[in-house]
Chains A and B, each alone.
Chain A
Amino acid sequence: QKEVEQNSGPLSVPEGAIASLNCTYSDRGSQSFFWYRQYSGKSPELIMFIYSNGDKEDGRFTAQLNKASQYVSLLIRDSQPSDSATYLCGTGFQKLVFGTGTRLLVSP
């Protein structure tokens, strides 16, 4: 079993909708979690990190962490076509382990 699991998608949502991206992890000792966004042909860039149970909000993005259930999610409110990208979930502090990524498609 891979340490971090993500549905590869694509996840298709209409413009203005909420996109919900999910991720599960296997190591109960994992403490820090993050979401990177990667546009096609580009390098990953950090969107959110979270280490406490609950929600963390930054603009249109909300990361949710549930350590008891071992899942992390990313909500994107008011989705825009420019949000269309692959979203990489992962864990680690200095040595990172990534999931395979979920491709998000936001249609106008």
Chain B
Amino acid sequence: DADVTQTPRNRITKTGKRIMLECSQTKGHDRMYWYRQDPGLGLRLIYYSFDVKDINKGEISDGYSVSRQAQAKFSLSLESAIPNQTALYFCATSVGTKGKGSYNEQFFGPGTRLTVL
């Protein structure tokens, strides 16, 4: 079974609709992230959470909100979807700080392809 799962994998919706993308992980990691990927723009951070009570805005949080329901679950919502939110969305997880010289690898889910018409 995949360690980081995302649902749905594909979604087509209309402008103005509310959409929720869900992410679950079985890796036991404290830290979770939401990114969007657009051609020519790369991966951009939307929101991140270092634990259940900690939520932080990323580079492009406008138009999005998140909920960290549990250590293993992190949801991304688009309250009123618009066409320029059409993108590939990735959830990722990582462990907490290990110390100097270490790097906390981020593990990505399979992605959700969202199309807003």
Interface residues in chain A, defined as those with a beta carbon under 8 Å from any beta carbon in chain B: 8, 32, 34, 42-46, 49, 51, 88, 93-101
Q: Whole-angstrom distance between the alpha carbons of A99 and B41 in the complex?
A: 8
CB–CB B48/A95 < 8 A:
yes
- A43-B90, A43-B111, A100-B40 known; A95 vs B45 contact (CB < 8 Å): yes
Over the window 73-117 of chain B, the binary record of Cβ atoms lying under 8 Å from chain A Cβ atoms (1 yes, 0 no) is: 000000000000000001000100100010111101111000000
Q: Whole-angstrom distance between the alpha carbons of A23 and B93 in the complex?
A: 24
Q: Is B43 an interface residue (CB 8 A)?
A: yes
* Cβ contacts under 8 Å, B40 to chain A: 8, 100
CB–CB A98/B110 < 8 A:
no
CB–CB A96/B106 < 8 A:
yes
* Cβ contacts under 8 Å, A51 to chain B: 101, 103
CB–CB A94/B50 < 8 A:
yes
Q: Is B31 an interface residue (CB 8 A)?
A: yes
Q: Whole-angstrom distance between the alpha carbons of A45 and B92 in the complex?
A: 11
Q: How many residues of B contact A (CB 8 A)?
A: 25
* Cβ contacts under 8 Å, B90 to chain A: 43-44
The secondary-structure label for the interface of chain A is: loop
Q: Is B58 an interface residue (CB 8 A)?
A: yes
* Cβ contacts under 8 Å, B103 to chain A: 32, 34, 49, 51, 93
* Cβ contacts under 8 Å, B106 to chain A: 46, 96
* Cβ contacts under 8 Å, A34 to chain B: 103
What residue of chain A has the Cβ atom nearest to residue B109's Cβ? A43
- A98-B43, A100-B40 known; A46 vs B109 contact (CB < 8 Å): no
Q: Which residues B20-75 have CB closer than 8 A to chain A?
A: 31, 33, 40-45, 48, 50, 56, 58-59
What residue of chain A has the Cβ atom nearest to residue B59's Cβ? A97
- A32-B103, A43-B110 known; A96 vs B42 contact (CB < 8 Å): no
Q: Choose one: A42, A45, A100; the contact of B41 (CB below 8 Å).
A: A100
